[in-house]
A and B are shown apart, each in its own frame.
Chain A
Amino acid sequence: MRKLRPPRSAHTTEKQQNRQSNSEFGDAATSLAANPDVTTISIEDPGETPKHHPGPPRSPGREEDDELLGNDDSDKTELLAGQKKSSPFWTFEYYQTFFDVDTYQVFDRIKGSLLPIPGKNFVRLYIRSNPDLYGPFWICATLVFAIAISGNLSNFLIHLGEKTYHYVPEFRKVSIAATIIYAYAWLVPLSLWGFLMWRNSKVMNIVSYSFLEIVCVYGYSLFIYIPTAILWIIPQKAVRWILVMIALGISGSVLAMTFWPAVREDNRRIALATIVTIVLLHMFLSVGCLAYFFDAPEMEHLPTTIATPNQTVAAAKSS
């Protein structure tokens, strides 16, 4: 488990030590009141006590529950939150806090979105009170160009043999893709955040996400579509649908596992409806992109033929 999450390990050990020392003090305090004999023993060899108790004071089952619920790092979260609010929003430093990530962190988050661990919460596992906007912004930018360019390439490959086909760069599709992707990556988190706030006011949920955390999760969950969009160049209907299913399964599960704890305490029906809506919206995005930007290989590509009069004439002559 530790090997799977390298950035955590340092913090975890540090925290464990803290906890141990805390619990030691706590134990000492309570046992001092109970029986003074025990305290004398622990005072005699303070250096050896960590070696004698290598296991964390909390059970592994509880740790897992903590991660799911978001109780983990509560002390750290508060500390960092206090740091972040130090500069007002009109200063440049305020916006620098959203880009306060290192290369390895971004890679870990991408890896986390590609290989979700069942039952683990993406936000608590990777983002951990430091949501960045670097990942979402550049993943969206890459996805826009990946979809537009590979859609164009696949259309070119489908019509490669045809005499009447004239290659068109279809540059307009870049702006359409940008509108769709950025609207999805910002408006859906915004509405989800509003919805969760509203539910939180009615039913007390243990986990609540900030807007930035939701944006961050959505941004990273879109990463899987970049390799998918590039592989969509292959003009095979079956391959494309298998790729959509794989991508949707991975990123949908990341989203579902992240937002399930936030709605778990709610009414069963509402909780399920929320998760289903999230996954459905995600599905509409991928299927919609596939349908709009990539021509189906089986079709005779009627729209282009009708759109350009020259080609219609040529097609009529040839037929």
Chain B
Amino acid sequence: MAEAAESPGDRGRASPRPLFAGLSDISISQDIPVEGEITIPMRSRIREFDSSTLNESVQNTIMRDLKAVGKKFMHVLYPRKSNTLLRDWDLWGPLILCVTLALMLQRGSADSEKDGGPQFAEVFVIVWFGAVTITLNSKLLGGNISFFQSLCVLGYCILPLTVAMLVCRLVLLAEPGPVNFMVRLFVVIVMFAWSIAASTAFLADSQPPNRKALAVYPVFLFYFVISWMILTFTPQ
């Protein structure tokens, strides 16, 4: 702005002045128009400014992230051949799901000896440590998927099992008995199959064809253990 106000006066007074100004003051881009157009940092700065989140309201920011998480939830519930889950990975969804699952699996008493169920920390460690191990395994087998992409997919695919946990807690409010158990068994088996189907739909393509089974088996074991924890949950 200041430079624009100055320039007409400068031009009127002396002709050699713009030459010196171009050398000393780099910010004058009108005199050397080539520089501003070619350099890449300039262009990226403009794009960054366009999508800047500084000026928008907090509500918009939160809603956008929540929408991204919700969109990924929909991808897990209805697995299609799509790369959205892989391309824009985030760990918010896995964190939410894992904490929800661990909280719901937590029993009333903190006495591990008495009820013998998994504690909050144990669920948390199993989910994250298991996901990291499976990811490392698939990377070591030669899969072309990044570390956090795989973590993201494995974490998001717990969603059906979290839903199963919610259903189980609701069913457990009713009269306990064989019918009650059968309903829970059915729900957990269906959701377990769902988790496996969703995660393999996203992950299997990243493996060499002759090693797919080796990469999928740990995923199966991982969700099987989580399903077992959900099925054996009994509130005290």
Residues of A within 8 A of B (CB): 92, 95-96, 98-104, 106, 134, 137-138, 141-142, 145, 149, 152, 167-172, 307-308
A169 B114 Cβ-Cβ under 8 A: no
B211 A168 Cβ-Cβ under 8 A: no
- A98 cross-chain contacts in B, Cβ below 8 A: 140
B116 A170 Cβ-Cβ under 8 A: yes
B113: interface (CB < 8 Å): yes
CA distance in complex: A101, B212 (Å):
11
Partner of A99, one of B141, B210, B217, B229: B141
13 pairs from A and B in contact (CB 8 Å cutoff): A99-B142, A100-B142, A138-B217, A142-B221, A145-B221, A145-B228, A167-B232, A169-B116, A169-B118, A169-B229, A169-B232, A171-B112, A307-B113
Tell me which of A168, A170, A307 has the highest count of chain B C-beta atoms within 10 A of its own C-beta.
A168
CA distance in complex: A149, B213 (Å):
23
- B122 cross-chain contacts in A, Cβ below 8 A: 171
Which residues of chain B from 70 to 115 have any CB-CB distance to chain A below 8 Å in the complex? 112-115
Question: Interface residues of A: mostly helix, strand, loop or mixed?
Answer: helix
The smallest C-beta distance from A211 to any residue of chain B, in angstroms, reads 18
CA distance in complex: A298, B229 (Å):
28
Partner of A149, one of B118, B217, B228: B228
The smallest C-beta distance from A165 to any residue of chain B, in angstroms, reads 13
Interface size class of B (residues with CB under 8 A): 20 to 34
B218: interface (CB < 8 Å): yes
Residues of B within 8 A of A (CB): 112-118, 122, 137, 139-142, 210-214, 217-218, 221, 224-225, 228-229, 232-234
The 8 closest A-B pairs by CB, nearest first: A99-B140, A168-B116, A169-B232, A171-B118, A170-B116, A102-B210, A103-B213, A169-B117
- B142 cross-chain contacts in A, Cβ below 8 A: 96, 99-100
Given contacts A149-B228, A169-B232, A308-B114, whether A104 and B217 have CB atoms under 8 Å apart is: no
Partner of A145, one of B115, B116, B225, B233: B225
CA distance in complex: A134, B133 (Å):
12
Question: 17 more A-B contacts (CB under 8 A) besides A145-B225, A145-B228?
Answer: A92-B140, A102-B211, A102-B214, A103-B211, A103-B213, A134-B140, A138-B218, A141-B221, A145-B221, A152-B232, A169-B115, A169-B117, A169-B232, A171-B118, A171-B122, A171-B229, A172-B112
Closest to B218 in A: A138
CA distance in complex: A101, B141 (Å):
8
- B232 cross-chain contacts in A, Cβ below 8 A: 152, 167, 169
A171 B117 Cβ-Cβ under 8 A: yes
A99 B137 Cβ-Cβ under 8 A: yes
Given contacts A95-B140, A149-B228, whether A134 and B214 have CB atoms under 8 Å apart is: yes
B115 A168 Cβ-Cβ under 8 A: yes
Closest to B130 in A: A141
CA distance in complex: A99, B114 (Å):
41
A167 B234 Cβ-Cβ under 8 A: yes
Closest to A309 in B: B114
Given contacts A145-B225, A169-B232, A172-B116, whether A103 and B141 have CB atoms under 8 Å apart is: no
Closest to B139 in A: A92
CA distance in complex: A308, B114 (Å):
7
- B112 cross-chain contacts in A, Cβ below 8 A: 171-172
Partner of B221, one of A92, A106, A138, A172: A138
The smallest C-beta distance from A109 to any residue of chain B, in angstroms, reads 12
A134 B213 Cβ-Cβ under 8 A: no
- A102 cross-chain contacts in B, Cβ below 8 A: 210-211, 214
CA distance in complex: A149, B225 (Å):
9
Closest to B213 in A: A103
Given contacts A134-B141, A149-B228, A171-B122, whether A103 and B214 have CB atoms under 8 Å apart is: yes
Given contacts A171-B122, A308-B114, whether A101 and B140 have CB atoms under 8 Å apart is: no
CA distance in complex: A101, B140 (Å):
10
- B212 cross-chain contacts in A, Cβ below 8 A: 103
CA distance in complex: A284, B118 (Å):
28
- A134 cross-chain contacts in B, Cβ below 8 A: 137, 140-141, 214
